[in-house]
Amino acid sequence: MGVNPPVITGSTLADTRVTTPLIVADNVSVTVPYYQPESRRLLTLPKQMLSGLYTNRTKRTHKTILRDISFKLDPGERLGIIGVNGAGKSTLLRALGGVYPTHGGSLHINGDARGLFNINLGMNYEGTGVENIYLRGLQMGLSIADIHDRVEDVVAFSELGEAIHQPLSTYSAGMSLRLAFSVSTMIDPDILLLDEWIGAGDIKFRFKAQERMNQLVDKSRGLVIATHNTALMKTLCSRALLLDGGDLVFDGPIDDALATYEERVAKVPTDTAPEEDA
């Protein structure tokens, strides 16, 4: 199995920054292994539980989640990824972030691509808000000094007030979301990769979050975002990729992409309906 690590080149010269594309994906595929029980009803029927436990074999198979994806991201571009659930949006983001290895083709990332994939990652529920800011910050690759500098901003942005000194286990879902969002936006990478959880929280916080996202996007040299929130995507992105079952089926201006998407979804009414909101 040919596995190509993404080639990461750090650009130093200001002029190369303007000209070289940030991401060049050329026929990139991602294949993941998984285990498939041979019987489809394994461990679902009480009568077969016992025999199934000992006799049923699992076989290891591979599933191609992304197939021959090719696209380019130029500096300053904001790219949306759309597609129904399971189309491969998150996988593409993870491949761009260097988490998943790609098979075949080549993937060049010019700069530091980092993402916000999972909102609750690394949060410790026994720890207080402030402790979690440090924990999470370190996990995102910041130094203690960096976090010291940013912690006040994060606390202020989260609007948690005194609750920031209470353990996370006392937080409501919305509060921990606010904290997670504030913490996650401490980083300012060259290429920002965002997964769909972003547009959450109460309305007031949503506005703030969107503003913060815009700032982050302005600071970063490129953005790739996967979301079902079409309104958010329209405000943020200029261009979009439409994925369907691992294939790249459309690459073009955001409005056209969304139109194509709606058309395709309408054609297949049995498929999973897209959520209006992430």
Partner 1 sequence: MLQHLLASIRSHEYWTYTTWMKMGLGYRKTAFGPLWILASPTVFVIALGFLFSRVMDIPRDVYVPHLTIGYITWLFIVGVLNTAPIIFVSKRSELLQGQMRLTDLVFSEIFTLLLLFAHHTIVIVGVFVLFQKPPGPHAYLSLVGMFLLVLNALWFMLVMGIIGARFRDAVEINQAIGRLFFFITPIIWVPTDGGGGAMGPYLRLNPFYHYLEVVRAPLMGTPIFALTWAVVIAGTVIGFGLAAILYRRAGRQVPLWV
Residues that bind partner 1 (CB under 8 A): 3, 5, 32-33, 94, 97-101, 114-115, 117-118, 121-122, 124, 126-127, 131, 134-135, 138-141, 143-144
Pick the closest to residue 112 from 6, 187, 190, 192 (CA basis).
Answer: 190
Four-CA torsion 124, 128, 131, 136, nearest 10 degrees: 40
Buried-state track 224-251, b at ≥16 Cβ within 10 A, e below 16: bbbbbbbebbeebbebbbbbbebebebb
* Amino acid (1-letter code) at residue 163: A
Q: How far is the CB of 142 from partner 1 (least distance, A)?
A: 9
Taking only Cα atoms into account, the Rg of the chain, rounded to an integer number of angstroms, comes to 21
Give the nearer residue to partner 1 in terms of CB position, either 1 or 14. 1
3-class SS letters over 40-70? CCCCCCHHHHHHHHHHCCEEEEEEEEEEEEE
Q: How far is the CB of 88 from partner 1 (least distance, A)?
A: 14
Give the nearer residue to partner 1 in terms of CB position, either 88 or 257. 88
Give the nearer residue to partner 1 in terms of CB position, either 79 or 109. 109
Q: How far is the CB of 238 from partner 1 (least distance, A)?
A: 25
Give the nearer residue to partner 1 in terms of CB position, either 15 or 126. 126
Q: How far is the CB of 34 from partner 1 (least distance, A)?
A: 9
Give the nearer residue to partner 1 in terms of CB position, either 32 or 249. 32
Q: How far is the CB of 240 from partner 1 (least distance, A)?
A: 23
